[in-house]
Structure 1
């Protein structure tokens, strides 16, 4: 296997995959059947606690990787985790726009995100295996992926704070033409019966758009993660544990976009960096320690700059979803 970092191939046994998938499945079941068994509004305190819990779980799995595969593999896992978590922030804000557009009450939003994350697992697994296979077969694809990431980063730096508008989405327009739907919610149901006909509720339309947004963001984030590791197991694990906590993170920061005005700049710089790193890895290798340092410094710096120099939000009231 062609490697993006100076390391040896890992020996991944079948039980490693069963352990990872079993753990993820168990955590999802606990989340949906115990923690969020009944629909309720997720308050900031609850979201903060859940966010910390998911981060701790992700770090504990990283500690297990260090024990099982060594510190270098753990460094790649942490690098992939940080990249996925940071690049997913924009996805969180897109979710906020979608829920606001469809007027989905807060107590029903978690259920939509649960199924959205479940679908994201399947798509990311396919994207990662395909990406690694392409890199293994065509070494030149490192340069192609790297230039694409750098270009995306530059576009992000130039575009400013453009907001996603669901009303202009061709996918949503096609959905409304193809699938009979209603504008009326029926609790957490994706389908309901109106005039003896089975129709989709707005929650299904939101779910479709959530999955679409994940596909779009995965086009950037998966190659970015593959810039720090070429092991499918490490790449998928870092992606999975990062996106597991996105639901809690959404309820914590969705209404705070205006407070992090320099975050977009930070994400653009990170994409340019990992793109340049990927191109450079065609000839030489950058250490995982350097990659982690750059990502952490840029991400922390963009948040600190937003707090220190960002203009105050136009509306201090907490948005209602």
Structure 2
């Protein structure tokens, strides 16, 4: 499978400089001093990142036409939706390791910065492998179908990443303390340099993101193998993950059916990959199916949440 790319050296360089500038602005200006990210601030930044992604998509459409633009938008939507599932796990991690909200942005910033590099490596490796070994697309497709079915079956399973094998191994290898030292990743106790719980949380966040990337990146390959579109859609979604976390962290329990929708998306894109040489699904159809699956699951979740809230209110009124 040969990957044709719309990305020129100028576009690649410009996009990377843009990402670096935004990260520098984020950490060096808006979050130079550690502070608790409030809902309004997080919502504003979420809007900024989504708007930037859509403006970039308009630029793709203007420069290269509707097909690459639809592919970018589909990839962005897949990654953005799967990142919500990522947020569920991040909430569990921060809660289990007792990380104050004040320091959570710092962990997410450095965790996502590392994720950008790791995902770039995974994307280019994946594109190179698909170019050389076409049959891998069937493997990726089968893997996504399996992951989608597994996500549906285990949709009510509680995550406990803080007590998993990876965390136990990290604690054995890295000398660590049990107490925070402000927003520092390392501290000195009795002359020994130790990792704080903040650094151990960072490791867990990075490992979690890598595991989620194993699903999301092959899923975008089902839409396009253009490395520029895969990379940019992935990065835009990841850059908005921090602000989206603070928007949704207090409401994750409301998205009851989201995992059902995500499992449907994974099965759909997996089937699209597996049948790529048999059935050609147009980009507008792919985008429509993905949007429909996610939209229905989110609306159904919110309706159920509202119904439960009304039932609870009626129960309280009856008791009083």
Task: Tell whether the 8 Å contact from 1:147 to 1:279 is kept in structure 2 after alignment.
Answer: yes
Deviation at 1:164, TM superposition (A): 1.4
Are 2:181 and 1:186 equivalent residues in the alignment? yes
Are 2:308 and 1:312 equivalent residues in the alignment? yes
Are 2:203 and 1:203 equivalent residues in the alignment? no
Task: Tell whether the 8 Å contact from 1:143 to 1:282 is kept in structure 2 after alignment.
Answer: no
Q: How does 1:121-200 map to 2 (within 5 A)?
A: 121-200=116-195
Counterpart of 2:276?
281
Distance 1:10 1:107, change over 3 A: same
Please, what is the CA RMSD of the aligned residues?
1.7
Cα distance in 2, alignment partners of residues 315 and 212 from structure 1 = 38
Which range is displaced more, 261-270 or 191-200? Answer: 191-200
Q: How does 1:201-280 map to 2 (within 5 A)?
A: 201-280=196-275
TM-score (norm 1): 0.93
Q: Structure 1, residues 114-166: CA drift from partner, whole Å, max 9, x if none? A: 01111111111111111111211111111111111011101111112212113
Cα distance in 1, alignment partners of residues 157 and 35 from structure 2 = 31
Deviation at 1:315, TM superposition (A): 10
TM superposition outliers: structure 1 runs of 4+ over 4 Å: 313-316
Cα distance in 1, alignment partners of residues 195 and 62 from structure 2 = 47
Decide which structure has greater helix share.
2
Cα distance in 1, alignment partners of residues 47 and 162 from structure 2 = 34
Which SS does the other structure have where 1:42 is aligned?
coil
Q: Structure 1, residues 156-193: CA drift from partner, whole Å, max 9, x if none? A: 11112212113431111111111111111112111111
Counterpart of 2:318?
none
Task: Tell whether the 8 Å contact from 2:97 to 2:162 is kept in structure 1 after alignment.
Answer: no
Are 2:72 and 1:80 equivalent residues in the alignment? no
Counterpart of 2:56?
61
TM-score (norm 2): 0.93
Deviation at 1:46, TM superposition (A): 1.2
Q: Structure 1, residues 70-112: CA drift from partner, whole Å, max 9, x if none? A: 2211111111100000111111111111111111111110011
Which SS does the other structure have where 1:312 is aligned?
helix
Name structure 2 gaps, 5 residues minimum: 314-320
Task: Tell whether the 8 Å contact from 1:17 to 1:233 is kept in structure 2 after alignment.
Answer: yes
Aligned mate of 1:115, from 98, 110, 116? 110
Which SS does the other structure have where 1:198 is aligned?
strand
Counterpart of 1:31?
26
Which range is displaced more, 106-115 or 277-286? Answer: 277-286
Which SS does the other structure have where 2:183 is aligned?
coil
Name structure 1 gaps, 5 residues minimum: 4-8, 317-321
